[in-house]
Amino acid sequence: MHFYLPAHPVLLFLTPAGFPHHKHRRLKMDEAFLTVKNELDTEVVVSWVSEHCYQCLYQQLGVAPAAPSLGQPSSVDFIVSTQHEITLQLNRTPATQELCTLPFHFGEHGNYSLWVKNLNDRSLVNCTLVTDADPANSYIRDIIQCVLLFAEVCMLPNRMMITFTFQELGSPGRTVAPITDNILPPPNNPSKRLRSLDTFRGISLVIMVFVNYGAGRYWFFKHESWNGLTVADLVFPWFVFIMGTSTALSINASLRAGSTRSSLLRKVVWRSLQLFIIGVFIINPNYCQGPLSWANLRIPGVLQRLAWSYLVVACLDLLVDAWWSPGLDILLYWPAWLCVLLLEIIWLCLTFLLPVPNCPTGYLGPGGIGDMGLYANCTGGAAGFIDRWLLGENHIYQTPSSRVIYATDMPYDPEGVLGSISSVLMAYLGLQAGKIILHYRDVHTSIISRFLIWGLILVTVLTKCSRDQGFIPVNKNLWSLSYVTTLACFAFVLLVLVYYTVDVRKWWSGAPFYYPGMNSILVYVGHEVFEEYFPFRWRMANNQSHAEHLTQNLVATSCWVFISYVLYRKKIFWKI
Is residue 223 part of the annotated active site? The answer reads yes
Residue 309: closest CA among 384, 233, 241, 380 = 241
Q: DSSP for 130-174?
A: EEEE-----HHHHHHHHHHHHHHHHHHHHHHHHHHIIIII--TTT
The DSSP H or E segment spanning 482 is helix 481-499
**Which residues, 6+ apart, have CB-to-CB distance to 140 below 8 Å?**
none
Burial class (CB in 10 A: 0-12, 13-18, 19+), 133: middle
Distance CA 489, CA 223 (A): 20
Residue 74: closest CA among 125, 40, 25 = 40
Distance CA 440, CA 431 (A): 14
Classified as helix, coil or strand, 511 is: coil
The DSSP H or E segment spanning 235 is helix 235-256
562: left (phi over 0), alpha (psi -120 to 50) or beta: alpha
Task: Check 223, 395, 527, 549 and give the catalytic one.
Answer: 223
Distance CA 567, CA 59 (A): 52
Classified as helix, coil or strand, 101 is: strand
| Single-letter amino acid, residue 130 | V
**Which residues, 6+ apart, have CB-to-CB distance to 391 below 8 Å?**
299, 300, 413, 416, 417
Measured CA to CA in angstroms, residue 240 lies from 98, 160, 223, 245 at distances of 49, 31, 17, 9
Within the chain, what is the greatest distance between any pair of CA atoms?
A: 93
Q: Which residues pair with 32 in a beta bridge?
A: 80
The DSSP H or E segment spanning 483 is helix 481-499
Residue 242: closest CA among 491, 452, 451 = 491
Task: State the number of CA atoms in the 13 A half-sphere of 334 facing the CB.
Answer: 5
Q: Are 79 and 25 in contact (CB under 8 A)?
A: yes
Residue 476: closest CA among 346, 389, 353, 383 = 383
Q: Just list the catalytic residues.
A: 223
